[in-house]
Amino acid sequence: MAIQSDERKLSIYRDADVAARYDERWAGASGQRRDERTRRAIERALARLGPVESLLDVPCGAGRFSAWLSQRTPRYLGADAALAMLAQTRGKCAAPLVAADLAALPLRTRGFDVALCIRLMHLVRDAERRTAFLRELARVSRRAVVVDYVQSESLKVWYARARAGLGLRDHAPSALSREQIRAEFERAGLELLAFEPLRSPGWLSDKVVVLARPAG
Ligand SMILES: C[S@@+](CC[C@H](N)C(=O)[O-])C[C@H]1O[C@@H](n2cnc3c(N)ncnc32)[C@H](O)[C@@H]1O
């Protein structure tokens, strides 16, 4: 199977059928456990900040965390580039939503305490594009950004890379080391504060939630 372009991976969610089926990945016992681990890692990152008054959730997707976050935060805004995904979110909660591209958010600078970005960066192989997304998250946040990544220091990625090396799979997964993540954040004007792995010890999970604050 050929590596899909970033554009293709980011735009499939505009399809109404893809959006309607998105939540299926969190159905079933294992999906629910993965979902819950991510939620807990986000909660640990947010708890480090104390009370959070306003939060931008971009991309909010099909509203995976919208009901929870809009109850947790006095001012919540969900944003996504795909109208089909926003329609799914609308079916779950009454929180304000906006159609917006993370590359150029129609939102004011430092308008939110926290900008949250979950399950997007691993879809983007182009480092410049990831950094542009991070810069925009940094611009709209006053206190912190919370972003998840696929980390290379994990059993799953070591195994997948070994298989790719032996020709047993077509391509190695797109994963970054913690040092690469830190450098990417610095380029975007963000100071890294904490890694919140989804499991303990951290190498048991390929996902990590990163907390950072606008530098300076
Ligand atoms: C894998 S989903 C993740 C959604 C949600 N955060 C979650 O955890 O389920 C990726 C989402 O990114 C959105 N997306 C892709 N490119 C975007 C962009 N440039 N700006 C905003 N959203 C984008 C897609 O429409 C899709 O809803």
Which pLDDT value is given to residue 171? Answer: 82
What is the pLDDT at residue 1?
A: 46
**Full domain range(s) for residue 50:** 6-214
Q: Look at residue 4 in the predicted model and tell me its pLDDT.
A: 77
| Residue 1: inside a domain | no
- Between the CA of 88 and the centroid of ligand 1 the distance, in Å, is 13
How many domains does the structure of the chain reveal? 1
Q: Is the CB of 13 under 6 A from ligand 1?
A: yes
Asked, for residue 171, whether it belongs to a domain, the answer is yes
**What are the tens digits of pLDDT across the range 63-92?**
999 999 999 999 999 999 999 999 999 999
Residue 144 within a domain? yes
Q: What is the pTM of this model?
A: 0.95
In a domain, 161, yes or no: yes
Q: Give every CB contact of residue 155 below 8 A, 6+ residues apart in sequence.
A: 203, 204, 206
| Ligand 1 and 42: CB distance under 6 A | no
Q: What is the CATH number of the domain that holds 158?
A: 3.40.50.150
**CB of 119 shorter than 6 A to ligand 1:** yes
Q: Could you tell me if the CB of 99 is within 6 A of ligand 1?
A: no
Q: Supply the pLDDT for residue 3.
A: 66
d(CA 73, CA 12): 30
Residue 56 lies in a domain: yes
What value does the mean pLDDT of the chain take? 94
Whole-number Å distance between alpha carbons of 119 and 107: 21
Instruction: Compute the distance from residue 157 Cα to the ligand 1 centre, in Å.
Output: 22
Expressed in angstroms and rounded, the spacing between residue 161 Cα and the centre of ligand 1 is 26
Contacts of 150 (CB under 8 A, 6+ apart): 121, 122, 157, 173, 174, 175, 176, 206, 207
Separation of CA 168 and ligand 1 centre (Å):
30
- Stretches in the chain below the pLDDT threshold 50: 1
